[in-house]
Amino acid sequence: MERVGEIERSIIKKFRKDIWSKFIKAVREYHLIEENDKIMVCISGGKDSFLLAKCIQELQRHGKFFFETHYVVMNPGYSKANEKLIIENAKLLNLDIEIFSSDIFNVVKDIERNPCYLCARMRRGYLYSKAQKLGCNKIALGHHFNDVIETSLLSMFYSSEFKTMLPKLHSTNFKGIDLIRPLYLVKEEDIIAWKKFNNLTFLNCACRFTENCTLTDDNKSKRNEIKQLIATLKKTNPNIDNNIFKSLDNINLDCVLGYKNKGVYTSFLDEYDSNKQ
Protein backbone atom coordinates (compact mmCIF):
# COMPACT_ATOMS: atom_id res chain seq x y z
CA MET A 1 0.00 0.00 0.00
CA GLU A 2 2.98 2.31 0.55
CA ARG A 3 3.97 2.03 -3.11
CA VAL A 4 0.50 2.84 -4.43
CA GLY A 5 0.34 5.81 -2.06
CA GLU A 6 3.54 7.20 -3.56
CA ILE A 7 2.18 6.72 -7.08
CA GLU A 8 -1.06 8.48 -6.20
CA ARG A 9 0.75 11.38 -4.53
CA SER A 10 2.96 11.82 -7.59
CA ILE A 11 -0.13 12.54 -9.71
CA ILE A 12 -1.44 15.33 -7.49
CA LYS A 13 1.93 16.73 -6.34
CA LYS A 14 4.95 16.23 -8.62
CA PHE A 15 2.78 16.06 -11.77
CA ARG A 16 0.09 18.42 -10.54
CA LYS A 17 0.68 21.04 -13.26
CA ASP A 18 1.20 18.69 -16.20
CA ILE A 19 -1.26 15.91 -15.40
CA TRP A 20 -3.69 16.53 -12.54
CA SER A 21 -4.52 20.16 -13.32
CA LYS A 22 -5.01 19.40 -17.02
CA PHE A 23 -7.20 16.41 -16.18
CA ILE A 24 -9.36 18.58 -13.92
CA LYS A 25 -9.49 21.37 -16.51
CA ALA A 26 -10.76 18.98 -19.20
CA VAL A 27 -13.34 17.49 -16.82
CA ARG A 28 -14.68 20.95 -15.99
CA GLU A 29 -14.29 22.70 -19.35
CA TYR A 30 -15.96 19.96 -21.38
CA HIS A 31 -18.39 18.76 -18.65
CA LEU A 32 -16.99 15.24 -18.86
CA ILE A 33 -17.79 13.94 -15.36
CA GLU A 34 -20.88 15.18 -13.53
CA GLU A 35 -22.80 14.40 -10.40
CA ASN A 36 -24.45 10.96 -10.30
CA ASP A 37 -22.69 9.76 -13.44
CA LYS A 38 -22.07 6.03 -13.69
CA ILE A 39 -18.82 5.67 -15.60
CA MET A 40 -17.22 2.60 -17.13
CA VAL A 41 -13.48 3.27 -17.17
CA CYS A 42 -11.82 1.22 -19.90
CA ILE A 43 -8.36 -0.16 -19.20
CA SER A 44 -6.43 -1.58 -22.15
CA GLY A 45 -3.27 -2.29 -20.18
CA GLY A 46 -1.24 0.66 -21.44
CA LYS A 47 0.11 3.70 -19.59
CA ASP A 48 -2.67 6.01 -20.76
CA SER A 49 -5.64 3.97 -19.57
CA PHE A 50 -4.04 3.11 -16.23
CA LEU A 51 -3.25 6.78 -15.57
CA LEU A 52 -6.81 7.66 -16.56
CA ALA A 53 -8.13 5.12 -14.05
CA LYS A 54 -5.99 6.57 -11.26
CA CYS A 55 -7.02 10.16 -12.04
CA ILE A 56 -10.70 9.24 -12.02
CA GLN A 57 -10.22 7.26 -8.81
CA GLU A 58 -8.59 10.30 -7.16
CA LEU A 59 -11.41 12.57 -8.31
CA GLN A 60 -13.99 10.12 -6.98
CA ARG A 61 -12.26 10.01 -3.58
CA HIS A 62 -11.64 13.71 -3.12
CA GLY A 63 -14.07 15.46 -5.49
CA LYS A 64 -17.02 17.58 -4.45
CA PHE A 65 -19.74 15.45 -6.04
CA PHE A 66 -20.77 11.81 -6.16
CA PHE A 67 -20.36 9.52 -9.16
CA GLU A 68 -19.90 5.78 -9.65
CA THR A 69 -17.17 3.90 -11.48
CA HIS A 70 -16.60 0.46 -12.96
CA TYR A 71 -13.04 -0.36 -14.04
CA VAL A 72 -13.27 -2.75 -16.96
CA VAL A 73 -10.72 -4.62 -19.07
CA MET A 74 -11.88 -6.18 -22.31
CA ASN A 75 -9.65 -9.09 -23.32
CA PRO A 76 -9.90 -9.47 -27.11
CA GLY A 77 -7.46 -12.38 -27.06
CA TYR A 78 -4.36 -11.13 -25.28
CA SER A 79 -1.48 -13.50 -24.63
CA LYS A 80 -1.33 -14.99 -21.13
CA ALA A 81 1.73 -12.86 -20.36
CA ASN A 82 -0.05 -9.64 -21.32
CA GLU A 83 -3.16 -10.54 -19.35
CA LYS A 84 -0.99 -11.35 -16.31
CA LEU A 85 0.75 -7.97 -16.55
CA ILE A 86 -2.59 -6.16 -16.63
CA ILE A 87 -3.78 -8.03 -13.53
CA GLU A 88 -0.50 -7.36 -11.69
CA ASN A 89 -0.61 -3.65 -12.51
CA ALA A 90 -4.23 -3.35 -11.42
CA LYS A 91 -3.31 -4.95 -8.09
CA LEU A 92 -0.26 -2.69 -7.71
CA LEU A 93 -2.35 0.41 -8.43
CA ASN A 94 -5.20 -0.69 -6.16
CA LEU A 95 -7.77 -0.85 -8.96
CA ASP A 96 -10.61 -3.31 -8.68
CA ILE A 97 -10.97 -4.42 -12.29
CA GLU A 98 -13.43 -6.67 -14.08
CA ILE A 99 -12.07 -8.60 -17.06
CA PHE A 100 -14.42 -9.86 -19.74
CA SER A 101 -13.42 -11.73 -22.86
CA SER A 102 -14.26 -11.36 -26.54
CA ASP A 103 -13.02 -13.21 -29.62
CA ILE A 104 -12.04 -10.13 -31.62
CA PHE A 105 -8.49 -11.22 -32.43
CA ASN A 106 -9.77 -14.56 -33.77
CA VAL A 107 -12.37 -12.80 -35.91
CA VAL A 108 -9.94 -10.35 -37.52
CA LYS A 109 -6.92 -12.66 -37.85
CA ASP A 110 -7.72 -13.60 -41.45
CA ILE A 111 -8.75 -10.11 -42.56
CA GLU A 112 -6.24 -8.79 -45.07
CA ARG A 113 -7.55 -5.25 -45.58
CA ASN A 114 -7.91 -2.84 -42.64
CA PRO A 115 -7.85 -5.41 -39.79
CA CYS A 116 -7.05 -2.60 -37.32
CA TYR A 117 -10.13 -0.64 -38.41
CA LEU A 118 -12.38 -3.67 -37.97
CA CYS A 119 -10.75 -4.49 -34.62
CA ALA A 120 -11.36 -0.94 -33.35
CA ARG A 121 -14.99 -1.00 -34.48
CA MET A 122 -15.59 -4.34 -32.79
CA ARG A 123 -13.86 -3.23 -29.59
CA ARG A 124 -16.08 -0.15 -29.43
CA GLY A 125 -19.20 -2.27 -29.90
CA TYR A 126 -18.23 -4.68 -27.12
CA LEU A 127 -17.45 -1.79 -24.77
CA TYR A 128 -20.74 -0.04 -25.40
CA SER A 129 -22.62 -3.30 -24.87
CA LYS A 130 -20.79 -3.87 -21.58
CA ALA A 131 -21.51 -0.34 -20.41
CA GLN A 132 -25.16 -0.84 -21.22
CA LYS A 133 -25.27 -4.06 -19.17
CA LEU A 134 -23.63 -2.29 -16.24
CA GLY A 135 -26.14 0.56 -16.44
CA CYS A 136 -23.41 3.14 -17.15
CA ASN A 137 -24.15 6.42 -18.88
CA LYS A 138 -20.53 7.17 -19.80
CA ILE A 139 -17.48 5.31 -21.10
CA ALA A 140 -14.06 6.81 -20.31
CA LEU A 141 -11.14 6.20 -22.69
CA GLY A 142 -7.48 7.14 -22.26
CA HIS A 143 -6.93 9.24 -25.39
CA HIS A 144 -4.65 12.21 -24.71
CA PHE A 145 -3.52 15.53 -26.24
CA ASN A 146 -1.14 13.91 -28.73
CA ASP A 147 -3.81 11.49 -29.93
CA VAL A 148 -5.99 14.50 -30.72
CA ILE A 149 -3.50 16.43 -32.86
CA GLU A 150 -2.11 13.29 -34.52
CA THR A 151 -5.60 12.09 -35.47
CA SER A 152 -6.38 15.53 -36.89
CA LEU A 153 -3.29 15.56 -39.10
CA LEU A 154 -3.85 11.95 -40.16
CA SER A 155 -7.34 12.92 -41.27
CA MET A 156 -5.98 15.81 -43.32
CA PHE A 157 -3.06 13.97 -44.89
CA TYR A 158 -4.69 10.60 -45.62
CA SER A 159 -8.46 11.17 -45.67
CA SER A 160 -8.60 14.65 -47.24
CA GLU A 161 -10.85 15.81 -44.43
CA PHE A 162 -10.37 18.22 -41.54
CA LYS A 163 -11.84 16.68 -38.40
CA THR A 164 -10.64 15.94 -34.93
CA MET A 165 -11.13 13.66 -31.94
CA LEU A 166 -13.71 15.29 -29.65
CA PRO A 167 -13.50 15.28 -25.83
CA LYS A 168 -16.92 13.66 -25.68
CA LEU A 169 -19.56 12.36 -28.05
CA HIS A 170 -22.96 10.68 -27.98
CA SER A 171 -23.25 7.06 -29.02
CA THR A 172 -25.29 6.67 -32.19
CA ASN A 173 -26.22 3.04 -31.53
CA PHE A 174 -26.45 2.88 -27.75
CA LYS A 175 -28.92 5.48 -26.49
CA GLY A 176 -28.01 7.33 -23.33
CA ILE A 177 -24.29 6.52 -23.36
CA ASP A 178 -21.58 9.12 -23.93
CA LEU A 179 -17.90 8.48 -24.65
CA ILE A 180 -15.55 10.79 -22.72
CA ARG A 181 -11.79 11.48 -22.90
CA PRO A 182 -10.67 13.07 -19.59
CA LEU A 183 -6.95 13.05 -20.54
CA TYR A 184 -7.77 15.26 -23.53
CA LEU A 185 -5.39 18.05 -22.43
CA VAL A 186 -2.62 15.83 -21.01
CA LYS A 187 0.48 15.42 -23.17
CA GLU A 188 1.95 11.98 -23.82
CA GLU A 189 5.44 13.10 -22.77
CA ASP A 190 4.09 13.84 -19.29
CA ILE A 191 2.37 10.46 -19.06
CA ILE A 192 5.68 8.82 -19.98
CA ALA A 193 7.46 10.95 -17.36
CA TRP A 194 4.93 9.82 -14.71
CA LYS A 195 5.44 6.19 -15.71
CA LYS A 196 9.23 6.46 -15.54
CA PHE A 197 9.22 8.42 -12.28
CA ASN A 198 7.25 5.61 -10.62
CA ASN A 199 9.22 2.85 -12.36
CA LEU A 200 6.06 1.34 -13.83
CA THR A 201 5.89 -1.14 -16.70
CA PHE A 202 2.77 -1.25 -18.86
CA LEU A 203 1.79 -2.96 -22.08
CA ASN A 204 3.19 -1.16 -25.10
CA CYS A 205 1.50 -3.08 -27.87
CA ALA A 206 -1.02 -5.69 -26.72
CA CYS A 207 -2.26 -6.69 -30.16
CA ARG A 208 -1.55 -10.34 -30.98
CA PHE A 209 -0.36 -9.39 -34.46
CA THR A 210 2.01 -6.59 -33.46
CA GLU A 211 3.12 -7.43 -29.94
CA ASN A 212 6.37 -8.83 -31.36
CA CYS A 213 6.93 -5.95 -33.77
CA THR A 214 10.33 -4.27 -33.88
CA LEU A 215 10.99 -0.58 -33.61
CA THR A 216 11.67 -0.56 -37.34
CA ASP A 217 8.23 -1.99 -38.05
CA ASP A 218 6.57 0.58 -35.79
CA ASN A 219 8.36 3.35 -37.64
CA LYS A 220 6.42 2.36 -40.76
CA SER A 221 3.05 3.19 -39.20
CA LYS A 222 1.26 6.33 -40.37
CA ARG A 223 0.69 7.52 -36.80
CA ASN A 224 4.38 7.23 -36.02
CA GLU A 225 5.09 9.14 -39.22
CA ILE A 226 2.96 11.98 -37.88
CA LYS A 227 4.66 11.79 -34.47
CA GLN A 228 8.05 12.19 -36.13
CA LEU A 229 6.79 15.07 -38.27
CA ILE A 230 5.54 16.97 -35.22
CA ALA A 231 8.81 16.27 -33.37
CA THR A 232 10.77 17.68 -36.32
CA LEU A 233 8.60 20.80 -36.51
CA LYS A 234 8.99 21.37 -32.76
CA LYS A 235 12.74 21.76 -33.23
CA THR A 236 12.14 25.09 -34.97
CA ASN A 237 8.82 25.95 -33.32
CA PRO A 238 8.53 24.44 -29.80
CA ASN A 239 4.90 25.55 -29.58
CA ILE A 240 3.78 23.81 -32.77
CA ASP A 241 1.76 21.10 -31.00
CA ASN A 242 -0.12 23.67 -28.93
CA ASN A 243 -0.80 25.72 -32.06
CA ILE A 244 -2.21 22.69 -33.88
CA PHE A 245 -4.47 21.94 -30.92
CA LYS A 246 -5.64 25.56 -30.60
CA SER A 247 -6.45 25.71 -34.32
CA LEU A 248 -9.00 22.93 -33.75
CA ASP A 249 -10.89 25.33 -31.50
CA ASN A 250 -10.36 28.39 -33.66
CA ILE A 251 -11.72 27.62 -37.14
CA ASN A 252 -12.61 30.68 -39.22
CA LEU A 253 -15.50 29.62 -41.46
CA ASP A 254 -15.16 32.88 -43.40
CA CYS A 255 -11.88 31.57 -44.80
CA VAL A 256 -12.54 27.97 -45.76
CA LEU A 257 -13.59 26.53 -49.11
CA GLY A 258 -16.36 24.47 -47.60
CA TYR A 259 -17.56 22.58 -44.56
CA LYS A 260 -20.02 19.91 -43.51
CA ASN A 261 -22.61 20.25 -40.76
CA LYS A 262 -24.66 17.16 -39.91
CA GLY A 263 -23.77 15.67 -43.28
CA VAL A 264 -24.78 18.72 -45.31
CA TYR A 265 -22.01 20.35 -47.34
CA THR A 266 -21.80 24.15 -47.61
CA SER A 267 -19.47 25.87 -50.11
CA PHE A 268 -18.06 29.36 -49.65
CA LEU A 269 -19.77 30.15 -52.98
CA ASP A 270 -23.22 29.57 -51.46
CA GLU A 271 -23.02 32.90 -49.61
CA TYR A 272 -20.38 34.62 -51.71
CA ASP A 273 -22.66 36.97 -53.68
CA SER A 274 -24.87 37.76 -50.67
CA ASN A 275 -21.81 39.02 -48.79
CA LYS A 276 -20.87 41.48 -51.56
CA GLN A 277 -20.34 45.01 -50.24
What is the domain extent for residue 110?
Answer: 2-211
Q: Which CATH number characterizes residue 109's domain?
A: 3.40.50.620
pLDDT bucket at 215, cuts 50 / 70 / 90: very low
For 183, phi then psi, to 5°, come to -90, 20
Residue 250 belongs to some domain of the structure: no
Residue 48 belongs to some domain of the structure: yes
pLDDT at 114: 59
Residue 268 belongs to some domain of the structure: no
pLDDT at 145: 98
Residue 259 belongs to some domain of the structure: no
Residue 228 belongs to some domain of the structure: no
pTM: 0.90
Which own/partner pairs from 9-13 qualify as long-range (CB within 8 Å, at least 24 positions apart)? 10/194, 10/197, 10/198, 11/51, 11/54, 11/55, 11/58, 11/194, 12/58
Residue 230 belongs to some domain of the structure: no
Domain count, the chain: 1
Which value, to the nearest 10 degrees, does the dihedral of the CA atoms of residues 192, 196, 202, 203 take? 50
pLDDT bucket at 205, cuts 50 / 70 / 90: low
